[in-house]
Amino acid sequence: MKDAEAAVSTVGLTRDFGSFRAVDGVNLDIPRGAIFGFLGPNGSGKTTTIRMLCGLLRPSSGSGRVVGCDIAREGEAIRRRIGYMSQKFSLYDDLTVAENLTFYAGMYGLANAKRRERVDAMIALADLRGRERTLTGALAGGVRQRLALACAIVHEPEMIFLDEPTSGVDPAARRRFWETIADLADGGATIMASTHFMDEAEHCTSLGLMYAGKMLISGSPDALKRELTVAAGKIWQARVPDSIGFLDRIRAFVSGGILDAYIFGASVRVLACGARLPADVAGAAAWEEREPTLEDVFVHHVRSSAGMEGQRCDA
Amino acid sequence: MRRLRALIVKEFIQMRRDPLTLAMLMLIPIVQLILFGFAINTDVKHLPTVVFDQSMGQESREFIQSLSATQYFDIRGYAASYDAIRRAIERGDGVVGIVFGPDFARRLARRDGAAIQVIVDASDPMSASSAIAAAEMIGLRKSAAVVAEATGTGMSPVYDVRLRPWYNRDFRTPYYMVPGILGVILTMTMMMITSMAIVRERERGTLEQLLVTPMRPWELMVGKIAPYLGVGYAQLTIGLLVGRAVFRIPMRGSLALLYLLTLLFIFSTLMWGILISTVSKTQMQAMILSIFGFLPSILLSGFMFPRMGMPTVFRYLSMALPLTWFQIITRGILLKGVGLESLALPVIALCVLIAVFLGVSLFKFHRTLD
């Protein structure tokens, strides 16, 4: 049964641009109905991965299946069933809101009655009622983003790829956007969205962290945080007057009981091995134990992958 | 079909949103036809002429009168030396110099090769050849008259060459220039417009969005072409109306046939633009590539220079230009009044060009971004 299959699954997905390996052996397994957050710094290979899954780029090696179809051989079938929104919000500026929607509805072959119904629903979804006849070029960034999403899902795709959908959009618009995404997932769609906003990652049911073309870790947000405390240690936080100078002193203990130390707002945070801080560190400030955030997870994995700090608690 | 319709509707809307471009497309044929139709004349008359007459007799004066009666020569002045003629031509005051020797009258009386030197400024070959032809003709005609008088045989020559210029009896330049310019305008506007079409979507990022839809490449190409077939026909109609009203160009053949065959020409030119758009990475590249194709169209198509005069290689090259075949079609139908049976070759050639442009475009169009 095809529909019982995962929405996205890849094995060793790899893409080279000349001698540069943009995506390096990525394995993905996204169940249907998931909101998969794709995290990673700029240039880590998120866009390239999404483009391969949408059939916009051919993999150099490895294989993948999207909505049960092979990405190398069944591109046509995949295209009918997925929606894709690029980070550029590719809309026609010289068409109106309604014309853009009608155009994309036509490109997916929707019949007249169905087309009108879906265009109308998408105008409601993007909250553009009354602005149907506005030229798209005159819309503000957040509105363009909602319209771009509406155009990408006008054909009711079962799988939606969003490449940095909230870049250049204000926080209120971002929150609304994620509400829409949650609605779509409730309706049964699977969503894969790349982002580098940590607060957005909290909206996702599962996460994948990409760095330098490799998938470092994946799992649900809670599991990733738990995994950090189990594999590494506890997070301690202290407020100190001269945080930069203090950080320099604390850093001396890295790989001596401390895995990582970094500025967190006006405070300093430390990821320590085991249940306790080293005695010298513990006496230096008034430490409080904190729950790890996704940023802790993210920074820890990126740094240890880059070999910047002591990676393991050997003691 | 729904996808194709969506693409065509979108192109029409975008065309309507840019009325300035559309208006220019309609104005170009009017302005260019009037400009070039009046300006270009290959039958060069009234060439400024300087005379150095050392004979100073009635005979030389009479010859000069015959020359100016042809309207090819405007006698601008008399020079006192060879040097004066040279200076006049160098300054551009004259393009023709006529020199009679001191013994002109005496040798004419003896029928002993009375020499008339005709100096022409051949840095402009077209005006030079007009002057040469006219001067030679006057010389021959006057010689014949003298011989006829002497022998008493009357005026009828032994070899009686009778010229019958078919289709354009008076050698009126606009008759072939106007349809030619029309083809040039269509080539230029059609090719440039579609050469921008796909690469513009690529630059704006909308092509990426189109590529994730189930769209097929040919649908995109036909969608881009269809609205401009209409624009091409509008230009043709405007051009023919101007040609008829202003230049009285004849329309001897079937207009319906002309409109039918023009479809092949416009389609092939639009497809050529699509091909350029497919292989270009930026709009700038597309622009330069279309100029690269446009110049040979003007120079090699037979619009300005007869293809018969070209080396074989270039004659073959000119067969790859849609404009070459359109010249044959327009001259054939408008001036000669021929029917489809005489135009089989251009029709086949245009069909082959369309197939080649379309085939290469589809082959070169990538469904992916790499």
Q: For B31-40, B135-144, B154-163, which range has the lowest pLDDT when averaged over its residues? A: B154-163
Residue B222: its chain A contacts at CB < 8 A?
A: none
User: Which pLDDT score, from 0 to 100, does residue A279 have?
Assistant: 78
What is the least distance, in Å, from the CA of B235 to any CA of chain A?
25
In a domain, A195, yes or no: yes
Residues A86 and A234 placed together within one structural domain of the fold:
no
User: Which pLDDT score, from 0 to 100, does residue B43 have?
Assistant: 75
How buried is residue A219: exposed, middle or buried, by Cβ count under 10 Å (0-12/13-18/19+)? middle
Cβ atoms < 10 Å from Cβ of A168 = 12
- Residue of B198, B169, B204 lying closest to B273 (CA atoms): B198
In a domain, A313, yes or no: no
Q: Which residue has the higher pLDDT, A106 or B113?
A: A106
Number of domains, chain A: 2
* Nearest Cβ partner for A86 among B3, B5, B208: B208
Residues A41 and A180 placed together within one structural domain of the fold:
yes
User: Which pLDDT score, from 0 to 100, does residue A308 have?
Assistant: 60
How buried is residue A180: exposed, middle or buried, by Cβ count under 10 Å (0-12/13-18/19+)? middle
Look at residue A26 and give its three-state secondary structure: strand
- The reply to whether residue B6 touches residue A75, judged by beta carbons under 8 angstroms, is no
- The reply to whether residue B7 touches residue A107, judged by beta carbons under 8 angstroms, is yes
Residue A218's alpha-carbon distances to A221, A226, B297, in angstroms, are: 9, 12, 60
In a domain, A312, yes or no: no
Residue A280's alpha-carbon distances to A209, A258, A283, A285, in angstroms, are: 33, 11, 6, 10
Residue B211: its chain A contacts at CB < 8 A?
A: 55-56
- Percent of chain B past pLDDT 70, that is, above it, reads 99
| pLDDT digits 0-9 by tens, B233-282 | 999 999 999 999 999 999 999 999 999 999 999 999 999 999 999 999 99
- Which distant-in-sequence residues (6+ apart) come within 8 Å of A224 by Cβ? A207, A217, A294, A297
| pLDDT digits 0-9 by tens, B7-58 | 999 999 999 999 999 999 999 989 988 888 888 777 788 899 999 999 888 8
Nearest CA in chain B to A96: B13
Q: Quote the domain boundaries for residue A77.
A: 2-218
- Residue of B64, B300, B315, B334 lying closest to B182 (CA atoms): B334
Residues A68 and A90 placed together within one structural domain of the fold:
yes
User: Which pLDDT score, from 0 to 100, does residue A1 have?
Assistant: 41
Residues A155 and A51 placed together within one structural domain of the fold:
yes
Q: CA-based Rg of chain B, rounded to a whole angstrom? A: 28
| pLDDT digits 0-9 by tens, B175-199 | 888 889 999 999 999 999 999 999 9
> Which residues, numbered 69 to 88 in chain A, qualify as contacts with chain B under a Cβ-Cβ cut-off of 8 Å?
75-76, 79-80, 82-84, 86, 88
Which residue ranges of chain A lie beneath pLDDT 50?
A: 1-2, 310, 315
Look at residue B367 and give its three-state secondary structure: coil
- Is A107 at the interface with chain B, CB within 8 A? yes
Superfamily of the domain at B47-151: abc type-2 transporter like domain (3.40.1710.10)
In a domain, A310, yes or no: no
- What is the average per-residue pLDDT within B304-322? 91
- Percent of chain B past pLDDT 90, that is, above it, reads 65
Q: Are residues B251 and B244 in contact, defined by beta-carbon separation less than 8 angstroms?
A: yes
Residues A161 and A175 placed together within one structural domain of the fold:
yes
Residues A125 and A87 placed together within one structural domain of the fold:
yes
Residues A186 and A237 placed together within one structural domain of the fold:
no
Residues A199 and A244 placed together within one structural domain of the fold:
no
Residues A36 and A60 placed together within one structural domain of the fold:
yes
The edge-to-edge listing of strands for the beta sheet with B73-78 is B73-78, B47-53, B96-100, B116-120
Is pLDDT above 90 for B127? no
Q: For A289-303, B113-127, B146-160, B254-268, which range has the lowest pLDDT when averaged over its residues? A: B146-160
In a domain, A264, yes or no: yes
Look at residue B271 and give its three-state secondary structure: helix
Tokens read off for A185: 């997932």
- Which distant-in-sequence residues (6+ apart) come within 8 Å of A251 by Cβ? A261
Nearest CA in chain A to B200: A92
DSSP symbols for A256-307: TTEEEEEEETTEEEEEEEBSS--HHHHTTS--EEEPPPHHHHHHHHHHHHTT
Residue B205: its chain A contacts at CB < 8 A?
A: 86, 88, 90
Look at residue A117 and give its three-state secondary structure: helix
The residues with which A63 forms a beta bridge, in sequence order, are A11
CATH of the domain at A31: 3.40.50.300
Residues A107 and A236 placed together within one structural domain of the fold:
no
Q: Determine if the pTM surpasses 0.90.
A: no
What is the least distance, in Å, from the CA of A301 to any CA of chain B?
31
| pLDDT digits 0-9 by tens, B98-108 | 999 898 888 88
What is the least distance, in Å, from the CA of B244 to any CA of chain A?
38
- The reply to whether residue B213 touches residue A104, judged by beta carbons under 8 angstroms, is yes
In a domain, A147, yes or no: yes
Nearest CA in chain B to A110: B2
Residue B10: its chain A contacts at CB < 8 A?
A: 92, 95, 99, 103
- The reply to whether residue A56 touches residue B210, judged by beta carbons under 8 angstroms, is no
Residue B78's alpha-carbon distances to A139, A193, B71, B102, in angstroms, are: 76, 89, 18, 15
Domain boundary among A218, A236, A262: A218
Q: State whether the Cα torsion A114-A116-A119-A122 is positive or negative.
A: negative
What helix, strand, coil percent values describe chain A, rounded to 5?
35, 30, 35
Domain boundary among A152, A183, A218: A218
- The reply to whether residue A82 touches residue B208, judged by beta carbons under 8 angstroms, is no
Domain boundary among A189, A218, A247: A218
- The reply to whether residue A79 touches residue B205, judged by beta carbons under 8 angstroms, is no
In a domain, A294, yes or no: yes
> Which residues, numbered 237 to 256 in chain A, qualify as contacts with chain B under a Cβ-Cβ cut-off of 8 Å?
none
In a domain, A315, yes or no: no
For chain B, the structural domain boundaries read 21-40+171-364, 47-151
Nearest CA in chain B to A82: B212
Q: For A242-251, B154-163, B287-296, B297-306, which range has the lowest pLDDT when averaged over its residues? A: B154-163
User: Which pLDDT score, from 0 to 100, does residue A315 have?
Assistant: 41
